[in-house]
Amino acid sequence: MHRLLPGRHQSPAAPGAALATGDYSRRRSPNVFQFGSPVLASWWRVLLTGTAYPNLATTRTVCGQLLDSVAASENGVPETLAAIRTDWLAEQGSGGRFDWRYYLVRYDAMRTGRSGIYAVPDGSMGFSVCMLRVQQMNSYYRDPYLFAILREAEAEDAVQDGTDGPWFTGYATAERWMYLKSSNTGLRCVDEGIALKPPAGDHLAKFEVACRSNPNVVRTDEGYLLKVSQGDRDGAMVDTIDRVQEGAALLKEFVKAGL
């Protein structure tokens, strides 16, 4: 694996290609998963050696499959890794299977946590995820879905935390809202899509106009929701459209409306 790890010769496609090959993560605790780091080889060593041998069965299998694919290819390592990622994403897209793995593979922004550690509230990777820089939850971390939506919309200047935000802290069960600085409009990733918190005052009318322009925005008992179409795939409910693209499009509309 040393040729694929972060460092002088690493391809930027390596982490995405590894996850496209399979879920290679190792469970650190009931609600915490260890993946490889996008920048630090030390965290890959933690992943591959930081537990008892039997606990690495899945990780070994997936990494072995990735190495076999690279070895069998007639192309260079970067080209092979990029092809693995691209082909897998195309297959998932054609089948309308947009699960957490799809999003982490497609969006580099969702794999920028230096530690490669992700924390969840309910014991499984899904649509409520914290992407950690370090090991502790009491440090600042990102919501990878909101971060990807922000990057895709190119709206970094519009959020309250500035171009480096948004950051969060606290338990994985806490609500993570990304707020727009001009209006205090909020967006939050939930299982059903993107929950929306309307602004107050003069901005409310602009918010409602922007929401009415999107047929997937619905009213709920809690407020507003950008509802993402979902379906059963092998016994699991997954998105059938890309929630990051849907969220980014609506965020652009909010910014265009002056929110």
Question: 77-126 pLDDT, tens per residue?
Answer: 889 999 999 999 999 999 999 999 999 999 999 999 989 999 999 999 99
pLDDT at 11 over 50: yes
The mean pLDDT value of the chain amounts to 90
Domain boundary among 118, 152, 186: 152
Asked, for residue 234, whether it belongs to a domain, the answer is yes
- Residue 120 sits in the same domain as residue 221: no
- Residue 17 sits in the same domain as residue 130: yes
Asked, for residue 120, whether it belongs to a domain, the answer is yes
Asked, for residue 163, whether it belongs to a domain, the answer is no
Question: 217-240 pLDDT, tens per residue?
Answer: 999 888 899 999 999 988 888 999
- Residue 34 sits in the same domain as residue 136: yes
Stated pTM of the model: 0.92
- Residue 130 sits in the same domain as residue 41: yes
- Residue 142 sits in the same domain as residue 181: no
Q: How many distinct structural domains can be found in the chain?
A: 2
- Residue 27 sits in the same domain as residue 77: yes
pLDDT band at 248 (very low <50, low <70, confident <90, very high): very high
- Residue 135 sits in the same domain as residue 182: no
Asked, for residue 165, whether it belongs to a domain, the answer is no
Long-range contacts of 42-48 (CB under 8 A, 24+ apart): 43/114, 43/115, 43/116, 44/1, 44/5, 44/6, 44/116, 47/116, 48/1
Domain boundary among 137, 152, 167: 152
Query: What is the pLDDT averaged over residues 54-64?
Result: 83
Asked, for residue 160, whether it belongs to a domain, the answer is no
Q: CA nearest 94: which of 204, 233, 202, 193?
A: 233
Question: 60-83 pLDDT, tens per residue?
Answer: 888 889 889 888 988 888 899 999
Domain boundary among 103, 135, 152: 152
- Residue 238 sits in the same domain as residue 115: no
The residue segments making up the domain with residue 227 are 177-259
- Residue 107 sits in the same domain as residue 212: no
pLDDT at 256 over 90: yes
- Residue 124 sits in the same domain as residue 4: yes
